[in-house]
Structure 1
Amino acid sequence: MVFAGQVAADRPDGGAPGPESATERIRVRYNGDDYSAEPIAKGAAYEIFSTEPGAGFLRNPRPGARKPYRRFVPAVEINVIEGRAPIPAEQPLSAPLSRNLSWSAVHALSQSRRNVDDELVARIRLSAKIFRGTRMVKVLSGRQLAGHLHGWLPQGFCYREFDVAHLRTPAELSVLRSDGDDGRADPVVFALRWRAIDPSDYQAPFAADFGGLVRMAPGDRLGSPVLGTGFAPSGQHVIPEFVTANLADLPLTAFAELVAYTDDGTEVVLYRYLPEQRAWGRMFGPQWRGLFAAVPGIAPEQEYFVIPPAPTRLMGRHHGAEYEAIADPPGEFRVLAKTRAARYAVESLSRRTPYLGWRRAPCTVVRDEGDWLRVRLVRPDIESITRLGAGCIERGIYEAWAPRAETAGYREVDIEYDLRNPAA
């Protein structure tokens, strides 16, 4: 990618120039043509503008825009030829391209289950890394959005925002849905966005570790099949996917967001997580209430959604005492406290997750209702889900209610994070 410094006279979207427009102007070259552009998702992708319609371009919804068409493209596919562009924080997926290995060949390798043990596929997939502070995304249906507003945590299949920031419409994002309606063209789709605390919280869904999901029959799963190559099924894109470690819940990070994407590519921040209040705070105005037509049981005018404590939580130590903690990665980790004076920085941090065994299957605990526990399979396969009578909640996630008296080996496992390592 080329970075050059040059100034512009008007706004990239064709609107009226503002006082800061001289420092905002960026021009990029994409597919041999030059466009004015704006970076999105901290430079992971670009919104490019055109006066003429073209393949892949959408209507620009900005009032009075002189360039009425726009398109979203990955940063790795464009060259910045004018202006100061942000340097993306993440590393792009890399492959040893040559005359014998084109990008279309890499796509074919990523989509074939015959390549689940291929060393080249694994090497390409593992070039997509997560660091402390990496922005993660999980695409949601209306039902899943309602679940997160009532306390669901990040779980299961997810993606680096860097790899999917150019997918902005419900049709484009449908390939990432996990609710079983990945082929449905809704006018709006939702997403959860948060920041990674540590790479150890995520795994690549290779067949060697998740063979049960790879072999799962269509009637026993929701969403797209799990290929076992570590890539999402897609006829067009090469998207590295991740799963939360052991398919367990992860604690929400400070200021996580629930967002909506409309059919013109507009992103609307709906709610932001307020960790001291343990609540989602509403961020959108009344003009967006129509987005909630497909969200069951949610009143869009409600300002706060207080969520209950979950079995999985962050724990930190301060001066030898243990407290529940808040993560604001990449650099801030502190005691959970409502008063500012008590928000001490923690000296150590860990994710505490309860595990147990039920009917010879290892599980995590996602809800504790006294005599009954809601458990989730760590390594789902057809035999274990049949033995437990587990249901598929979403792609890769199988849960059941277990009588506490029938379970064994209940224990809380602390996954320690190395806060001294800033490169984690």
Structure 2
Amino acid sequence: MSVTPQADGAASERAGLHVTYHGAVYPAEEIARGAAYELFSAEEAAGFEWAPRPGGAPPWRRFAHVTEVTSVHGATEPAEEPESPLLVPLHRDRGWSDVHQLSQQPTAAGDPTLAAVRASAVIRRGTRMVKVLSARQLAGYVRGWLPHGFCYREHDVAHLRTPAALAVLRGDGEGGRDGVDVAYALRWRAADPADYDVPVGEAHRGLRALPQRDRLGPPVLGTGFVPSNLQLIPEFVTRDLADLPLPANATLLAYTADGVEVVLYSYQAEQRGWLRMVGPQWRHLLAAVPGLSPDQEYVPTGDAPRSTQLVGGHAGGEYEAVADLPGGFRVLAMTRAARYPVDSVARRLRYAHWRGAPCLVLREEAGWLRLRLCRPDPDSVLATGAQCHERGVYEAWAPGAEVTDDRVVDLPYAV
């Protein structure tokens, strides 16, 4: 269930929705445009939890991914093209449990069946992506951080709705042990599939080789799936571990212990800031976020250094652009009349080398460069002294005079 200031009455609109799960029919509510369902039962049933809510809904409930549901009754036509599902070819000699077991074995990375399953998880322009955050990370994104590192398609994780369930997706090394009974997440739309990579193969061998003492979060298996005893979840990483420009209307979310999704903030691209979306009844969810007042209506990112931006062409000129998906790309302008669609668009970022390691330049201060390793491995981490800030993300300060091959690169998108 998603909660926003305008969400009143959503349950009544779904009163006629029922799904068949394990041979029984349950009233349900749709999650993430049919990627998952919240099932309700008036009586105790296997896998259901006691979680009564206001409004008269049956008190027992559980969350189920669409792949666990055999039929849906009373659903409306989707407003958007659905995401491609994860396809698992099963036969007599290899069932779901066998495929899941393979996904957890680094030595099985080249298995053709596993590779076929992983290849079915596709990002397209407009795909909703999710990154689960700690309270500290949420504060960073409100103040200007950009999407980077490991992330997931919302379609694949829509059934994970509680802090306990979402802990498997956290990459900060805490995994829900911060004493806060709320989980946070960033959700945005992918501007281009080329911005993402699958952490498999030789290009990501270094991430697999990093010892536990040098990393945060769970290990990178190299199979393209999240380490988990229960879930088969495909994972992605931003290409070169780079920051991505925030698209218009990205959201920061909270998930409560009873599975309610609350939209905390919405990103306003023209104002370069986050607009608070929650009313007084939900502001306690922000109490654990360091340095953030729950009563602040609007939080500007200000002049925070930006390691990447979109640039677009219009009428022969170059302008800063914004992804306003699913519509497309346009000039970033305060006035509606100047928000022209662009003829071309590219993601601009800065690369360099330091001590033999390819890096991204995040910012520059007093002759020093803040660098992030593009391909972290034990050798580059040792040579640069880079520190792990979250799963797969290693950064260090370098004297500008020691950095070589410092260059700005434009990565074009198809328009």
- Establish whether residue 120 from structure 1 lines up as the match of residue 113 from structure 2: yes
- CA positional deviation for 1:82: 2.3
SS at match of 2:141: helix
RMSD: 1.9
Residue 28 (structure 2) aligns with: 37
Partner of residue 25 from structure 1, selected from 16, 22, 26: 16
> Could you tell me which residue of structure 2 aligns to residue 265 of structure 1?
259
Quick check: 1:390 aligned with 2:386? yes
Aligned-partner SS, 2:287: helix
Deviation by residue 1:311-347 (Cα, 9 ceiling, x = unmatched): 2001100011000001012222100001111111101
CA offset digits 1:254-283 (Å, max 9, x no partner): 100000011110111101000000001111
**Distance in 2 of aligned mates of 1:22 and 1:210:** 46
1:221 aligns with 2:212: no
Distance 1:327 1:216 in 2: 35
Contact kept, 8 Å, 1:207 with 1:227, in 2: the verdict is no
Q: Which amino acid aligns with 2:375?
A: R
Whether the aligned pair in 1 keeps the contact of 2:125 and 2:193 (CA below 8 Å) is: yes
In the TM superposition, residue 84 of structure 1 has moved relative to its aligned partner by 2.6
Q: Does 1:326 align with 2:317?
A: no
Aligned counterpart in structure 2 of residue 365 of structure 1, from 361, 366, 376: 361
Q: Which residue of 1 aligns with 2:67?
A: 76
Deviation at 1:374, TM superposition (A): 1.1
User: How many angstroms apart in 2 are the aligned matches of 1:104 and 1:145?
Assistant: 35
With over 3 angstroms needed to count, the CA separation of the structure-2 counterparts of 1:228 and 1:81, relative to structure 1, is closer
Q: 1:205 aligns with which of 180, 199, 205?
A: 199
**Structure 1 residues 411, 290: closer, same or farther in 2, change over 3 A?**
same
Q: CA deviation at 1:19?
A: 11
Q: 1:243 aligns with which of 215, 237, 247?
A: 237
> Which structure 1 residue ranges, 5 or more long, are not aligned?
1-16, 420-424
Shift of 1:20: 9.9
Report the residue type matching 1:160 in the other structure: R
Contact between 2:254 and 2:261, CA under 8 Å: does it hold in 1? yes
Deviations 1:117-151 (A, max 9, x none): 22322221111000000000000000100110111
Query: Which 10-residue stretch deviates more, 251-260 or 322-331?
Result: 322-331
Q: Give the distance between the partners of 1:309 and 1:256, measured in 2 at CA.
A: 19
Further displaced range: 77-86 or 186-195 = 77-86
Q: What letter matches 1:229 in structure 2?
A: T
2 CA distance for matches of 1:258 and 1:181? 19
What letter corresponds to residue 18 of structure 2 in structure 1?
R
* Contact 1:207/1:228 (<8 A) preserved: yes
Unaligned runs of 5+ in 2: 1-7
Q: Which residue of 2 aligns with 1:303?
A: 297
1:173-195 Cα offsets, whole Å, 9 max, x none, are: 00000100126274011000000
Check 1:19–1:110 CA distance in 2 against 1; reply closer, same or farther (3 A cut).
closer
**Structure 1 equivalent of residue 371 of structure 2:** 375
Residue-by-residue CA offset, 1:364-384 (whole Å, 9 max, x unaligned): 112232412211000001111
- Separation in 2, partners of 1:275, 1:183: 31
Q: How far apart, in 1, do the equivalents of 2:383 and 2:410 lie?
A: 28
More divergent stretch after superposition (197-206 vs 184-193): 184-193
**Deviation readout 1:92-134 (Å, 9 max, x if unpaired):** 1112210011001010010001112223222211110000000
Structure 2 counterpart of 1:62: 53
Aligned length: 403
Specify whether residues 210 and 59 from structure 1 end up closer, same or farther in structure 2 by C-alpha distance, changes over 3 A only. Answer: same
Residue 347 of structure 1: aligned partner: 343
Identity %: 57
Consecutive aligned runs of 4 or more in structure 1 exceeding 6 Å deviation: 17-20
Amino acid across the alignment from 1:415:
L
Cα distance in 2 between the residues matched to 1:335 and 1:297: 32
Contact 1:134 1:195 in 2 (8 A): yes
Q: Give SS of 1:105's match.
A: helix
In structure 2, do the counterparts of structure 1 residues 136 and 65 end up closer, same or farther at CA, with 3 Å as the change threshold? same
CA contact (8 A) 2:163 2:176 kept: no
Write the letter of the residue equivalent to 1:75.
Answer: V
**TM-score, L = length of structure 2:** 0.93
Partner of residue 172 from structure 2, selected from 168, 173, 179: 179
Given that 1:254 and 1:274 are in contact with CA atoms closer than 8 Å, whether structure 2 keeps it comes out as yes
Separation of aligned partners in 2, 1:355 and 1:81: 49
